[in-house]
């Protein structure tokens, strides 16, 4: 029986690369996607489906988490809070969704226990990214410990975060090396037809492509917002 990795895949560049890296290590990928009433939910779901069809996966899970709208407190899940477009600032941005990765990892852990997986894959980036507390290595390590204490003794899970110390230009370069279909990935926080080019996620992505010296294959409304 193939060893399995449950990969949390948003449809974005980072989590897609993480899944490709784990597949290259011989894991069967159990792909998990979350719809949490985020602004670009439909586009992210389409990206997830296109990417997993290309990647080739075992079981896939598309999980609806409607309650994020009731919690709100983030520009991604509360339409009354604007997504910032003026450039990346210090501190935790208003796009932070409270403990989103904690919720995602907990559900992934339940799926991993059910599937008999040994790895959970997540595309968190700490050093050159969003400023979200739930993307920090120390958090993921603590979460791994909690997951292993809170599941059956025979369930022993490693949370793989192969991108955590990469810069965005390294992620672009690695994505090319792993033949990741970058044209299928979506990172924009706010738009679904063409990426806005000015939200934090677009800025980080565009900066990565620019520094890697490679054109980004997805459409943008504007591309001059690179921070």
- Its sign, for the CA torsion 212, 75, 19, 180, is negative
Tell how strand 119-121 and strand 4-8 pair up.
parallel
Q: Provide the token pair at 216.
A: 């980004």
Binding mask 105-124 for a copy of itself (x = CB under 8 A): xxx-xxx-xx----------
**What residues between 132 and 161 interact with a copy of itself by CB under 8 A?**
133-134, 136, 138-139, 142-143, 145-147, 149-153
Q: Which is nearer to a copy of itself, 18 or 105 (CB)?
A: 105
Does 69 interact with a copy of itself (rule: CB under 8 A)?
no
Q: Which is nearer to a copy of itself, 131 or 181 (CB)?
A: 131
Q: Rule CB under 8 A: choose which of 2, 70, 90, 193 binds a copy of itself.
A: 70
Q: How far is the CB of 205 from a copy of itself (least distance, A)?
A: 23
Does 90 interact with a copy of itself (rule: CB under 8 A)?
no
Q: At what angle do helices 13-24 and 41-55 cross, to 10 degrees?
A: 20
HSE value, Cβ hemisphere, 13 Å, CA-based, for 59: 13
Q: Is 17 annotated as a binding residue?
A: yes
Does 72 interact with a copy of itself (rule: CB under 8 A)?
yes
Q: How far is the CB of 138 from a copy of itself (least distance, A)?
A: 5
Phi, psi values for residue 152, rounded to 5°:
-55, 150
- Its sign, for the CA torsion 38, 40, 45, 51, is negative
C-alpha pair distances (Å), 184 with each of 48, 171, 203: 8, 15, 18
Q: Which is nearer to a copy of itself, 102 or 181 (CB)?
A: 102
Q: How far is the CB of 137 from a copy of itself (least distance, A)?
A: 10
Buried-exposed string 175-208: b where 16+ CB fall within 10 A, e elsewhere: beeeebbbebbbbbbbbeeebbbbbbbbbbbbbb
Q: Is 199 annotated as a binding residue?
A: yes
Q: Is 10 annotated as a binding residue?
A: yes
Please tell me the distance from the alpha carbon of residue 129 to that of residue 64, in angstroms, as a whole number.
26
Q: Is 19 annotated as a binding residue?
A: yes
Annotated binding site for Zn(2+): 188, 196, 199, 202
Can you give the binding site for a copy of itself, defined by CB under 8 A? 61, 63-67, 70-73, 92, 96-103, 105-107, 109-111, 113-114, 133-134, 136, 138-139, 142-143, 145-147, 149-153
Binding positions are 9-19, 188, 196, 199, 202
């Amino acid at each position: 029986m193939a060893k399995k990795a449950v990969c949390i895949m948003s449809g974005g560049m980072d989590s897609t690369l993480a899944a490709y890296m784990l597949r290259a290590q011989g894991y069967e990928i159990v792909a998990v996607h979350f719809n949490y009433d985020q602004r670009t939910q439909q586009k992210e779901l389409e990206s997830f489906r296109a990417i997993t069809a290309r990647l080739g996966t075992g079981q896939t899970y598309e999980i609806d988490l409607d309650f994020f709208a009731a919690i709100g407190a983030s520009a991604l899940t509360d339409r009354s809070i604007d997504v910032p477009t003026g450039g990346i600032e210090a501190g935790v941005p208003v796009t932070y969704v409270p403990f989103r990765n904690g919720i995602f990892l907990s559900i992934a852990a339940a799926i991993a226990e059910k599937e008999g997986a040994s790895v959970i894959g997540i595309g968190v980036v700490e050093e050159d990214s969003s400023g979200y507390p739930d993307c920090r290595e120390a958090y993921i390590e603590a979460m791994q410990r909690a997951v292993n204490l809170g599941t059956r003794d025979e369930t022993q899970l490693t949370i793989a975060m192969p991108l955590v110390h990469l810069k965005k230009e390294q992620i672009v370069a690695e994505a090319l090396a792993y033949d990741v279909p970058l044209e299928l990935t979506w990172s924009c926080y706010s738009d679904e037809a063409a990426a806005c080019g000015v939200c934090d996620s677009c800025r980080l992505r565009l900066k990565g492509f620019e520094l890697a010296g490679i054109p980004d294959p997805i459409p943008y409304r504007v591309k001059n917002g690179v921070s």
